[in-house]
Structure 1
Amino acid sequence: MIPVRGYEGRKVGVLGLGRSGLATARALAAGGAIPRLWDDSPESRARAESQGFDMTDLTRADVWHDMAALIVSPGIPHLYPEPHRLIARAMAAGVPIDNDIGLFFRSWSTEAWDDMDPTPRVVAVTGSNGKSTTTALIHHILKEAGRPTQMAGNIGRGVLDLDPAREGEVVVLELSSYQTELARALTPDIAVFTNLSPDHLDRHAGLGGYFAAKRRLFSEGGPDRAIIGVDEVEGQFLANQLSQGPGDDRVIRVSAVQKLDGAGWTVFARRGFLSEWRKGRQVASIDLRGIRGLPGAHNHQNACAAYAAARCLGLAPRLIERALHSFAGLPHRSQLIGERDGVLFINDSKATNVDSAARALQAFPRIRWIAGGLGKEGGIGALRPHLGSVVKAYLIGHSARDFALEIGETPHEICETMERAVARAAADAQPGEVVLLAPAAASFDQYPNFEKRGEDFTRLVQKLLDG
């Protein structure tokens, strides 16, 4: 646990009692603060009370006059589409609002670091797609290199649940736009921006607000090194804003679709090969094509970003290459479940929007595609240019029939349930094909979250493989 510093003897509100909220309450208490906990859900309050926490009804006006801060869980809106009523009350009362990420950055370093050589460092990863895989991959490379490391944030543990830093340790954080937008302190040593595509637009009042939330990690964080995916205009703009000139190697540009020229520091992947260039010459190359845990161009972009972060931390290219080959991938993100008679079964349940589904569909040459669920605004018409590799679609969930109308001439079958879709796709699949779950939709019509959807797919596939 990281005891929160700066609130000794003062009352601090905690709104939202999920994983991060309860970790925050424990860390505040460990640092000498007096946490005042609340959640709108009676079930969440009861669960917290069963763990020994006391509740304070933050809806009462008299609790705000001596509150030092309000710490908010990421899922609670603080600005758009409108502030939560208790956040609005905190703002009216002049109470500073923060989150666990801000508390972490103000509390992570201690006096004990004066005797450490090298001192601990933080790598923070944000972006629309690939940030979980990139975060996990950096963490994996560091572990394989024998470096002390912990992983937290939007993946793994809550940041305040981390163990106190060890000498030379690297903490790798995945940060969502919800987290970067609200944190009052953002000071990573290395910051990574993977890419940008439309998502969470209601929470940020449009794409500009969404990008601005991501940009805070760089503009306010002031990292020593910035690793920027430049395959979209937003990444190009961000890299330009941070760089002092063409040869500024504090900014490392990353691409999965183009060779990057110039005098600076670049890492890019073309035709399955990762290349690192510095000062106009190539210094390393890695063949990514045989790495099963990183299939497709989108994962090659993740590999480039993770490689660049590892190089910033002083790791040699050959050591990084060995670690890439041993990376198994993350559950529900291009996860290889198994193989039968030359057919691969891939779980990409995390592909909940059009952009992430498009990336998955470009990773394999012949696909039996399982898609559907609770469709998002705008539908999936934008996927049509990426359906050339789809042999047949097997559509499930609430939006199955809407999806059927939007995929044009692509052969399809309305299966409605995951069980029927897996059975039909497996029965039809030929050697060399891939049965791919990439739903391009939310899961909430049939499952509580994308993890449960992916677990159901995995269970059904394992049953087939074992049979």
Structure 2
Amino acid sequence: MRIAELSGQRVAVWGFGREGRAAIGALRRRLPGQPLALYCHAAEVDAARAFDPALTVHGSEPNAVTLAAYDVVVKSPGISAYKPAILTAQAQGTRFTSGTALWFGEHPQARVAAVTGTKGKSTTTALLAHLARALGVRTALAGNIGMPLLELLDGEAALWAVELSSFQTGEAGPLELGVITSLYEEHLDWHGSRERYVADKLRLADAARTLLVNGLQPELLELTAGHPARRIFGGPDGWHVRDGFIRRGEAEVMAVTALSAPGAHNALNACAALAALELMGHDAAAAAPALASFRPLPHRLQPLGERDGLHWINDSISTTPQATLAALDSLPGREVTVIVGGHDRGLDWSDFVRAVAVRSSLRVVAQGANGPRIAMALRKAAPELPLGETDGLDEAVAMARTVTPEGGVVLLSPGAPSFDQFRDYADRGRHFAELAGFDGGAIAGIDGLGIA
């Protein structure tokens, strides 16, 4: 859908987060006289009216009848496309679009590499942009990573490195390259089921002329086998990790220890970025040394430093049990206390329980809404595992500080969303840093957003 198609239509914007504000700004630039309604939280009404006095602002969630009164609704990504009110309004003729879809409609010729995945998508997208810029390629870094595409509506770049969440993959227009870093169970509350989550993630494949996928995931390989131009990273013929090196086929390109982002999973993310850069027509081997200067993203295995004789690591972005296991795998041979738990989405923790049951030098503190469920499973499977249970993060950090031996690591890697206690994972990560004795405001910020 092009923005011009909204002219003269009854249009509403639903959501006043950064995506919603970007949509309002873009519509005002292209259609300055277009009447617009906004639906937002009651607490946001005053800010919305100050942002754009011409808006008709409603401080409530629209129902099916309300939505059916509009020709087009520009919806923010966090609002599930499967809400009954949306499905009912669609059946009555209301069209729903998004900032992502509008940007693609305005940029059909842009050279886009879009990255999705349950885990690794943000780091892979940022790595791709960093590597491309190291070669002197004018590159945009945007999307779900922290800058809505519509904020760059009038920008020009030779390469667009775009992160798409599972909420956005179906909104992408035709694109040059799609990358799927991993596929696990997540966001079941938005999608409604694991099957729908997987199907929505894989909608990126439908939009991508070339598809790059993780060759170490059999299910992902099976599900994407029918794509006519599928390529693989992680396998021995392409970019992969073996014997401590990132390799292109048999050639050793870079030692894993030279990477700035720790962990085997980040080495695999680097392979995904290098393979994507190569598929976009650039010299990935020449760019590879720039991996050493990449600044790891905040809240993703982010070393905070040492306090009280302990090392503190913020992995608040971890919202699945698999991500927590990957974080633990990045700390071999260390004494670790891991803080797990948060908003309960009903995910299966059995793989996590089996894996940690046989680990040594590990303590677990379970907290948050699903903490009791995790703790119960751990007590049953691993009664000898040192385990604590608290109501919230404050108490969990205090317990971890007490039980972790000097020189050990306190790792926040919750394996669950933050909504039971915090606004988002970043809010949780900042609070963890402050509880540990660091400046929470100093740990935020993603380098390189925008066009450079």
TM-score (norm 2): 0.84
Please tell me the root mean square deviation across aligned C-alpha atoms, in Å: 3.0
User: Which residue is equivalent to 1:193?
Assistant: 180
User: Which residue is equivalent to 1:127?
Assistant: 117
Question: Residues 421-452 of structure 1: CA distance to partner in whole angstroms, max 9, x if unpaired?
Answer: 44554555457743211112332333222211
Structure showing greater relative contact order (alpha-carbon pairs closer than 8 Å, 6 or more residues apart): 2
How far does residue 4 in structure 1 lie from its aligned partner after superposition? 3.1
Matched residue of 1:447: which SS? coil
Q: Is it true that 1:43 corresponds to 2:61 in the alignment?
A: no
Q: 2-side partners of 1:135 and 1:90: how far apart?
A: 35
Q: 2-side partners of 1:42 and 1:269: how far apart?
A: 50
In 2 relative to 1, CA 36–59 (structure 1 residues): closer, same or farther, beyond 3 Å? farther
User: Which residue is equivalent to 1:246?
Assistant: none
In 2 relative to 1, CA 420–63 (structure 1 residues): closer, same or farther, beyond 3 Å? closer
Preserved CA contact (<8 Å) 1:90 1:97: no
Shifted more, 268-277 versus 130-139: the winner is 268-277
Preserved CA contact (<8 Å) 1:390 1:410: no
Q: Which residue type is aligned with residue 72 of structure 1?
A: K
337, 353, 360: which one pairs with 2:304?
337
User: Which residue is equivalent to 2:231?
Assistant: 252
Q: 1-side partners of 2:260 and 2:436: how far apart?
A: 18
User: Which residue is equivalent to 1:91?
Assistant: 90
How far does residue 393 in structure 1 lie from its aligned partner after superposition? 1.8
Preserved CA contact (<8 Å) 2:245 2:254: yes
Q: Is it true that 1:208 corresponds to 2:207 in the alignment?
A: no
Q: Is it true that 1:235 corresponds to 2:235 in the alignment?
A: no
How far does residue 362 in structure 1 lie from its aligned partner after superposition? 1.6
How far does residue 106 in structure 1 lie from its aligned partner after superposition? 0.6
In 2 relative to 1, CA 234–402 (structure 1 residues): closer, same or farther, beyond 3 Å? closer
Preserved CA contact (<8 Å) 2:40 2:57: no
Q: 2-side partners of 1:125 and 1:62: how far apart?
A: 35
Q: 2-side partners of 1:63 and 1:314: how far apart?
A: 44
Matched residue of 1:21: which SS? helix
Q: 1-side partners of 2:407 and 2:245: how far apart?
A: 22
Preserved CA contact (<8 Å) 1:7 1:31: no
Q: Which residue type is aligned with residue 125 of structure 2?
A: T
Preserved CA contact (<8 Å) 1:239 1:253: no
Q: 2-side partners of 1:236 and 1:424: how far apart?
A: 42
Q: Is it true that 1:435 corresponds to 2:410 in the alignment?
A: yes
Preserved CA contact (<8 Å) 1:345 1:436: yes
Preserved CA contact (<8 Å) 1:254 1:267: yes
User: Which residue is equivalent to 2:264?
Assistant: 297
Preserved CA contact (<8 Å) 2:117 2:165: yes
Q: 2-side partners of 1:320 and 1:275: how far apart?
A: 13
Q: 2-side partners of 1:62 and 1:394: how far apart?
A: 46
How far does residue 398 in structure 1 lie from its aligned partner after superposition? 4.0
User: Which residue is equivalent to 1:141?
Assistant: 131
Q: 1-side partners of 2:302 and 2:403: how far apart?
A: 21
**Which structure 1 residue ranges, 5 or more long, are not aligned?**
110-118, 244-249
**Which structure 2 residue ranges, 5 or more long, are not aligned?**
440-452
Q: 2-side partners of 1:461 and 1:228: how far apart?
A: 38
Q: 1-side partners of 2:91 and 2:147: how far apart?
A: 33
Question: Residues 287-319 of structure 1: CA distance to partner in whole angstroms, max 9, x if unpaired?
Answer: 1134242x2222222111111112223443444
User: Which residue is equivalent to 1:247?
Assistant: none
In 2 relative to 1, CA 45–105 (structure 1 residues): closer, same or farther, beyond 3 Å? same
276, 289, 293: which one pairs with 1:326?
293
Q: Percent identity?
A: 32
TM-score (norm 1): 0.81
Preserved CA contact (<8 Å) 1:45 1:55: no
Q: 1-side partners of 2:286 and 2:307: how far apart?
A: 33
How far does residue 91 in structure 1 lie from its aligned partner after superposition? 1.4
User: Which residue is equivalent to 1:175?
Assistant: 164
Preserved CA contact (<8 Å) 2:116 2:180: yes
Matched residue of 2:140: which SS? strand
How far does residue 9 in structure 1 lie from its aligned partner after superposition? 3.8
In 2 relative to 1, CA 209–390 (structure 1 residues): closer, same or farther, beyond 3 Å? farther
Q: 2-side partners of 1:62 and 1:178: how far apart?
A: 23
Q: 2-side partners of 1:189 and 1:428: how far apart?
A: 51
Matched residue of 1:457: which SS? helix
In 2 relative to 1, CA 344–313 (structure 1 residues): closer, same or farther, beyond 3 Å? farther
